[in-house]
Amino acid sequence: MAESITVVGGNKKDKYSSLIPQIKALVEGETDVIANLSNIMAALKQGIGFLWVGVYFVKGNELVLGPFQGPVACTRIKSGKGVCGTAWKEKKILIVPDVDQFPGHIACSGDSRSEIVLPVFNKGGEVVMILDVDSDKLNDFDETDKAFLQEVIGIIEQIV
Ligand code: SME
């Protein structure tokens, strides 16, 4: 695995473009899921500078907190609850420009203003995990984040 990451300055697209190959290198040759997810979350936080980035695992009828970077967070989320529980139930990517306008948003951190949530699927098409990324700025996520974070989801789907 790579020992460190370096992200070039510039716009978000440049940062993601330089980060994604490094994320691939980070997980290369390592099979432990928690170790790999931990490093992927650290690379995303370090490389792009989100407020909070982490995963929740599907366990029974709940999401349970997994590796993350950022302020402490709620540990369990029911299906259909909050942005994460809704993305899980509806099996789709959600971009929320203003969390205060999302009915039932779970405010783990009072600093969170916008977020993007992406489901991770197994080969059978079931959601096994949720990637949750939060920003302290309103309207901070767009199609660029969606496209590059989908690439990250692709990497995660290879290693779980
Ligand atoms: N914002 C999430 C809760 C998780 S924390 O933000 C880490 C939600 O409403 O699903």
Q: Identify the CATH number of the domain in which residue 27 sits.
A: 3.30.450.40
Nearest residue by C-alpha to atom 6 in ligand 1 = 108
Q: Look up the domain containing 131 and give its range.
A: 12-159
**DSSP classification of residue 91:** T
pLDDT in tens, the chain (160 residues): 777 888 877 899 999 999 999 999 999 999 999 999 999 999 999 999 999 999 999 999 999 999 999 999 999 999 999 999 999 999 999 999 999 999 989 988 889 999 999 999 999 999 999 999 999 999 999 999 999 999 999 999 999 9
Q: Is residue 102 part of a domain?
A: yes
Q: Is residue 63 part of a domain?
A: yes
Q: Is residue 77 part of a domain?
A: yes
Nearest residue by C-alpha to atom 4 in ligand 1 = 108
Cβ 134 under 6 angstroms from ligand 1: yes
Cβ 87 under 6 angstroms from ligand 1: no
Cβ-based neighbours of 126, under 8 Å, separated by 6 or more: 58
Note the pTM of the prediction, 2 decimals.
0.96
For ligand 1, the distance from its centroid to the CA atom of residue 141, given in whole angstroms, is 15
Find the length of the chain.
160
User: How far apart, in whole angstroms, are the C-alpha atoms of residue 139 and residue 86?
Assistant: 19
Cβ 140 under 6 angstroms from ligand 1: no
How many distinct structural domains can be found in the chain? 1
Cα→Cα distances 84→26, 116, 129, Å: 26, 9, 10
Q: Is residue 54 part of a domain?
A: yes
Q: Is residue 5 part of a domain?
A: no
Handedness of CA 62, 59, 119, 111 (dihedral sign): positive
Q: Is residue 70 part of a domain?
A: yes
Cβ 106 under 6 angstroms from ligand 1: yes
